[in-house]
Amino acid sequence: MVKEENQPFAKLLGEHLKRGRYELGMTQAEFAETTELSEEGYGMIERGQRIPSALTLCIIHNKTGISMDLFFKEFAKIKKR
C-alpha cells in the first residue's frame, strides 16, 4: 500500500507507464512479461497502488525504452505547484 503523501507520485508514475504501454501497443500481460514483472505486480504499479524500486524502473526503461527522465520532469512540475 502506498502512503498518502506518496500517492500523487504513485498515481502519476502509473499514468506515465500506462501511456507508454499504450504507445507500444502492449497489453498489461505483454508488458509484464517483457519487463519480467508479475502481471499482478505491474497492474498495481500502473494503478498507483505500488511504487517500484529504482532497479525496477531501470529494467522497465531498458526493456521498453519508456523514459523515466520525462516522468521525473513531469513530477517536478507538479511538486512546484
**Tens digit of pLDDT for each residue in 13-68?**
999 999 999 999 999 999 999 999 999 999 999 999 999 999 999 999 999 999 98
Alpha helices in 1-81 (DSSP H): 7-24, 28-35, 39-46, 54-64, 68-80
CATH class of 4-80: mainly alpha
Cell numbers representing residue 38 in the block: 508479475
Q: How many residues does the chain have?
A: 81
Domain boundaries, the chain: 4-80
Is pLDDT at 80 greater than 80 in this prediction?
no
Q: Give, in order, the Cα–Cα distances in Å from 13 to each of 17, 18, 69, 81.
A: 6, 9, 11, 18
Q: What is the pTM of this model?
A: 0.89
- pLDDT band (50, 70, 90) for residue 81: low
